[in-house]
């Protein structure tokens, strides 16, 4: 009896121990599984975080390399451009030398650019042939220059006078010498007026001097320029690029000078004769005196048909004159800017093909040419006063 009870107690104890062992194993297994899942999650998060850091580092490194490469390219380009500009500047400073052995012909030496150029070339030691339109211009140069400057009369519109001048120059040149430079400076401004008031005569008088005279002189002296492998310097204008409505004949002539010079340059390059253009802006010379411009405008307006005068009316004409007064009052008075370009074109070993002296020629006109036509036209018109006839038509 007692033994059976003991055996029962022992079996119950063993069952309890087994149950406890099983429960412990189950709990430990659950805890292990939960811990493993947590570790898997934490490892996944850490791996994603590490991948993001690596990706960001790679992108940043790539951007840094691209930035460094771009900087290297830009700095290299800047160095090349700077070196080119410095080299070009250096070439422009080189001179031909032996000025006293070189002969230069300048037209239009009575006043203005031509007069100043002839005197300064004489001071530099050049042998100068100064062509003038008037006896007063000849007397002025003979009175203030050395014996190496020879002033003479020549009207560039007269073929016989050009031929006479060519014979004079040829007789003064040594046998083995030719002309080093021809400066086609002679020019006229013509009349500033409404297009409807212009006649064929207004166009002819400007074209005869500014382009046909230039062509005649160049053709006559070209053989002498070939002898010395010289250069031609043609004086154009900013009005060879733009055309205000107030001076159409003058603008046409200067556009023609541009075309003639460009074509001549291409034709003569194989003959070792170079062609260069001086394209000045607005400068105050005897040609641009307001009194002279006003007097011509009044004369030609009053000579226009009565119907044209009535259509424009006094108010529009007076406004036109006031605009001309404002323009001529703001012209550049430093003529040396232009003359210095002439001298560089004559004396430099590597002269420029085009010179644009003057603020308006260098900045304003190029800017104007970049604008749309409708906008540049509005700016070029200078706010004109509408003709009286136009107001009448609108009223009707």
Q: 245 CB contacts (<8 Å, ≥6 apart)?
A: 194, 195, 380, 381
On the CB side of 64, how many CA atoms lie within 13 Å of its CA?
Answer: 6
Residue 9 confidence (pLDDT): 39
Q: Which residue in 232, 107, 114, 98 sits closest to 177, CA to CA?
A: 98
Name the pLDDT band for 57 (thresholds 50, 70, 90): confident
Lowest mean pLDDT, pick from 12-16, 150-154, 228-232: 12-16
Q: Which two tokens stand for residue 163?
A: 């031929």
Q: Which long-range contacts (CB under 8 A, 24 or more apart) does 217-221 make?
A: 217/107, 217/156, 217/162, 217/182, 217/184, 217/186, 218/182, 218/184, 218/264, 220/162, 220/163, 220/165, 220/166, 221/105, 221/166, 221/169, 221/179, 221/182
Facing residues of 105 across strands? 129, 182
Q: What share of the chain is helix, strand, coil (3-state, %, to 5)?
A: 70, 10, 25
More confident residue, 378 or 303: 303
C-alpha dihedral, 6 to 11 to 17 to 19, nearest 10°: -150
Interhelix angle 214-227/248-268, rounded to 10 degrees, is 20
Residue 276 contacts residue 291 (beta carbons within 8 Å): no
- pTM, entire model: 0.79
Gap between the Cα atoms of 358 and 339, Å rounded: 12
Evaluate if residue 18 carries a pLDDT over 60. no
Q: State the catalytic residues.
A: 250
CB 141 within 8 A of CB 118: yes
Chain centroid to CA 228: 31
Higher-confidence residue: 318 or 45?
318
Measure Cα distances from 124 to 99, 180, 205, 349 in Å: 7, 14, 35, 16
> Looking only at Cα atoms, what is the longest distance across the chain?
168
CB atoms inside a 10 Å sphere around CB 109: 31
pLDDT in tens, 133-170: 999 999 999 999 999 999 999 999 999 999 999 999 99
Q: What is the pLDDT of residue 13?
A: 46
Secondary structure class of 235 (helix, strand, coil): strand
Give the least confident one: 264-268, 342-346, 375-379. 375-379
pLDDT at residue 181 tops 60: yes
DSSP letter (8 states) at residue 196: G
Residue 358, SS3 per DSSP: coil
Model pLDDT, residue 56: 58
> Is 312 in contact with 388 (CB distance < 8 Å)?
yes
Sequence-separated (6 or more) residues with CB below 8 Å from residue 142: 149, 151
End-to-end CA distance of the chain: 147
The helix/strand/coil state of 355 is strand
d(CA 204, CA 256): 13
């Amino acid at each position: 009896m007692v033994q059976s009870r003991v055996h029962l107690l022992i079996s119950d104890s063993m069952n309890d121990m087994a149950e406890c062992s099983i429960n412990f194993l189950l709990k430990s297994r659950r805890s292990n599984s939960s811990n493993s899942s947590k570790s898997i999650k934490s490892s996944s998060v850490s791996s994603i975080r590490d991948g993001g850091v690596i990706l960001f580092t790679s992108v940043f490194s790539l951007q840094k390399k691209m930035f460094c490469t771009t900087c290297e390219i830009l700095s290299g380009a800047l160095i090349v451009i700077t070196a080119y500009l410095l080299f070009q500047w250096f070439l422009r400073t080189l001179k031909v030398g032996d000025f006293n052995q070189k002969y230069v012909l300048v037209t239009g030496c009575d006043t203005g650019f031509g007069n100043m150029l002839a005197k300064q070339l004489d001071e530099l030691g050049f042998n100068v042939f100064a062509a003038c339109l008037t006896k007063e211009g000849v007397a002025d140069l003979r009175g203030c220059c050395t014996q190496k400057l020879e002033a003479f009369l020549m009207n560039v519109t007269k073929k016989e006078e050009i031929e006479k001048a060519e014979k004079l120059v040829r007789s003064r040149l040594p046998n083995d010498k030719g002309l080093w430079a021809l400066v086609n400076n002679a020019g006229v401004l013509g009349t500033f007026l409404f297009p409807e008031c212009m006649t064929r005569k207004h166009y002819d008088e400007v074209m005869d001097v500014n382009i046909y005279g230039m062509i005649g002189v160049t053709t006559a002296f070209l053989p002498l320029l070939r002898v010395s492998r010289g250069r031609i310097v043609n004086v154009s204008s900013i009005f060879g690029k733009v055309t205000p409505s107030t001076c159409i004949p003058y603008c046409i002539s200067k556009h023609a000078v541009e075309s003639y010079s460009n074509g001549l340059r291409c034709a003569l390059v194989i003959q070792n004769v170079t062609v260069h253009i001086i394209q000045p802006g607005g400068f105050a010379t005897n040609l641009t005196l307001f009194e002279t411009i006003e007097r011509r405008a009044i004369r030609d307006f009053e000579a226009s048909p009565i119907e044209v005068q009535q259509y424009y009316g006094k108010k529009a004409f007076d406004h036109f004159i006031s605009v001309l007064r404002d323009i001529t009052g703001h012209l550049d008075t430093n003529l040396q800017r232009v003359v210095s370009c002439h001298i560089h074109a004559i004396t430099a070993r590597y002269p420029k093909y085009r010179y644009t002296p003057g603020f308006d020629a260098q900045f304003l006109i190029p800017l104007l040419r970049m604008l749309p036509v409708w906008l540049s036209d509005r700016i070029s018109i200078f706010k004109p006063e509408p003709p009286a006839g136009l107001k009448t038509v609108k009223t009707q």
